[in-house]
Amino acid sequence: MRTLSNNQALLGFSYFSKIGPGTMIKLEKYFSQASRAFETSSYELRRSGLKEKLINEFIIWRQNFKFEKIENELAKENIKYITWHDQNYPKFLKEISFPPYIIYYRGNIKILNDNKINQLAIVGSRKHSAYAEKIIKEIMPTLVYNNIKIISGLALGVDTLAHQEALNNKGLTIAILGSGINYASIYPRPNRQLAEKIINNNGLILSEFPPQTQPLKQNFPQRNRIISGLSQAVLVIEAKEKSGALITADYALDQNREVLAIPGNIFSEFSRGTNNLIKAGAKTITKIDDILEIFKIDTIKSDNKKRSIIKLKNEIEKQIYAILKQANERAEKISVDEIIKITKLDTALINSTLSILELRGIAKSDGISYDIN
């Protein structure tokens, strides 16, 4: 049998899914080294306090485990790992209860311990309103310009918006997965290209789950504790009464992190969770200053980019643009039927004008409704 390092032993243990951080803490305390725990006899494992059934399962599993095979698979997809014994293990994760004993990653691991960059988690509903999209687009340029790194979970909805807008503003972002980080296992599937884009733009994707791990339901609460654990504050943007984002907020409170929430429409199901967080004591965020205050940033910096001058060529374009702008200011989108109802103009004329505005980058459509770009 090969001589194992502690890190290799922890790699092996991570592939045996029934030994989590709590059990690993006990094993390392008893054996002093993970390598001894991995290679020891069933008798010694019994003395360490493990249950008989678990020991028997581990011994049988260990007989068929091949380190060389696993290491080759990791190298093939350029997946690396660090353990809680490594110097570059994230300092914030060391502060939480039951931190992951191993982290698999692709991308720039150095940004996890960059003291010059603050770390903000942004989480929210998988289904979201135009309100959430508008908020993220409004706050992201200032967050990025002030060197605030964005952490989220790569889920559809608010998570996706947070990652994308960070990239659009040339910021750093980290995605924490509830699955393996090999390309075929990245979840959700529509965000595989987003994950690659994060990696290619000096960002990072990571997971405590080995490659090939499927996105099982029980993985996501575990994932959420890492999202909050890596962050100094967690910002919740839209959440229903029962939402994974609220689990992340609960972990943040347990980990002594700041919990921030955006207030929303009292009639909207997407705002019930965030409004309840505020009632329970979360910091209410109504302007960008409120977030910067958490990071002790006194002066708001912005990129001072001047918006492009919008050139509207005729009265119909001006009329339609004014309607789109008014809807945008309410954080809403507007349908063609609604525009026709307001303007009382011909349907063909409205459609052709909207198409022209979209081609010129002034308007945008999700296939159903329109908004300004």
131, 331 contact by CB (below 8 A)? yes
pLDDT, position 6: 95
User: Is 78 within 8 Å of 106 (Cβ atoms)?
Assistant: yes
d(CA 183, CA 242): 30
- Shared domain for 220 and 112, answered yes or no, is yes
Does a structural domain hold residue 134?
A: yes
In this structure, is residue 303 part of a structural domain?
no
The pLDDT of residue 330: 86
Are residues 124 and 10 located together in one domain of the fold? no
Does pLDDT of 361 surpass 60?
A: yes
CATH, residue 162? 3.40.50.450
Q: Does 243 lie in the same domain as 99?
A: yes
> Can you give the pLDDT at residue 252?
96
Q: Are residues 32 and 181 in the same domain?
A: no
pLDDT of residue 306: 41
Report the percentage of the chain scoring pLDDT > 90: 79
- Give the pLDDT score at 29: 96
Are 59 and 138 in the same domain?
no
The reply to whether 346 falls in a domain is: yes
d(CA 218, CA 329): 39
Residue 56: domain span: 6-76
Number of domains into which the chain is organized: 3
**Entry pTM:** 0.84
Overall average pLDDT of the 332-350 stretch: 92
pLDDT of the residue at 280: 94
Give domain status of residue 19, yes or no.
yes
Q: Does 99 sit behind a cis peptide bond, omega within 30 degrees of 0 on the bond before it?
A: no
Pair (33, 145) in one structural domain: no
Rounded to whole angstroms, the Cα distance separating 314 from 353 reads 10
Q: Are residues 154 and 238 in the same domain?
A: yes
Give domain status of residue 321, yes or no.
yes
Q: Of 141, 149, 94, give the one whose Cα is nearest residue 116.
A: 149
Which band of pLDDT confidence, cut at 50, 70 and 90, is reported for residue 355? confident
User: What is the band of 134 on the pLDDT scale with cuts at 50, 70, 90?
Assistant: confident
Q: Provide mean pLDDT across the span 144-153.
A: 96
Same domain? For 193 and 270 the reply is yes
pLDDT level of residue 307 (50, 70, 90 thresholds)? very low
In a domain, 81, yes or no: no
Output the DSSP codes for 303-317.
--PPPPPP---SHHH
Cβ neighbours of residue 318 under 8 Å, at least 6 residues apart?
312
> Does residue 254 fall inside a structural domain?
yes
Q: Are residues 267 and 349 in the same domain?
A: no
Looking at the structure, do residues 189 and 325 belong to the same domain, yes or no? no
**Total Cβ atoms within 10 A of residue 307:** 5
Q: Check whether 135 has a pLDDT greater than 60.
A: yes
- Is residue 306 assigned to a domain? no
